[in-house]
Amino acid sequence: MAAAPAVLSSGAGGGSGHAGYNIFRWYRAGWGRYTQADPIGVGGREFNADNPLRSTDAFGYAEQNPLLKVDRTGRSVATTQSAQAAMVIGFGLADFLRNYEDMRDANTIDADKYFHCLANCEAARRGPYGEMTALVMSVGREAVDYAVKGDPKSAWVADLVADFVGLTGGRSSCSSCSPPSPCKQVCKGLRPRGLDPKY
């Protein structure tokens, strides 16, 4: 059988009730569903613990979640690039928030640089979008300290140095390299005396 062009590049699939061919299956836009079951079965999908029925619906499109997921061939589901980026940015922000909370909880003099480093390292470990998140958060943050809080230059310059130690240490160099050092190791030199060992 000659390969037909994929009619669906996302879940939109046109507004009519006509069926469209999506390589392995026909999709009927009016129904919002495929007309055949998934040829690789329901095992080809991620299990959704929040909605088990969604995971086991062999006729649905992209697990009924077309904004975040795409089914390019009719037999597999992938998270869209923008959704992946949003997730990584969200996780990167969570890295910053968690380390900020730890910094406040530790409440130890000179510990800020250690936690700045950890946040940047952990976010950068998540890949290019994590690095971007770390860079924007760090530079933006120090700009706020300088322009809004009026912090002394020595303080925000030292913070920026700690940010970049974490960012460069967290950046993954290549897939075949030896495993990167843990972020706590990367930031060890910035750890102040007296900081609780749990951090």
Partner 1 sequence: MRTIAALLFSTLLLGCNEADVKVYGSSDEARADGAIARGWIPQSLPKSSKAIREKHDLDTNESWGRFEFAAPDAATFAATLTRITTSGTCLRDPRVEWWPASTLSSLEKYQANDDKRVFFAIDWKNNVGFFWRCAT
CA distance 7 to 29: 11
Smallest separation, CB 97 to partner 1 (Å) = 8
CB within 8 Å of 48: residues ≥ 6 apart: 54, 55, 63
Residue 46 or 105 having the CB closest to partner 1: 105
Integer angstrom CA distances of residue 127 from 91, 117, 140, 160: 11, 16, 20, 20
Residue 103 binds to partner 1 (criterion: CB under 8 A): yes
Q: Which stretch binds partner 1 (CB under 8 A): 20-28, 47-55, 147-155, 166-174?
A: 147-155
Please answer whether residues 43 and 8 qualify as being in contact, where contact means their C-beta atoms are separated by less than 8 angstroms. Answer: no
Q: Which stretch binds partner 1 (CB under 8 A): 58-66, 68-76, 98-106, 164-172?
A: 98-106
Residue 36 is encoded by which pair of tokens? 């055949």
CB within 8 Å of 47: residues ≥ 6 apart: 55
Among residues 121, 141, 165, 169, the one that binds partner 1 under rule CB under 8 A? 141
Residue 108 binds to partner 1 (criterion: CB under 8 A): yes
Residue count, binding to partner 1 (CB under 8 A): 30
CA atoms within 13 A on the CB side of 171: 12
Which residues is 21 bridged to in the sheet?
26
Residue 29 or 106 having the CB closest to partner 1: 106
Smallest separation, CB 30 to partner 1 (Å) = 33
Per CB under 8 A, residues contacting partner 1 are: 89, 93, 96-97, 100, 103-104, 107-112, 133, 136-137, 140-141, 144-145, 148-149, 151-152, 154-155, 158-159, 192, 194
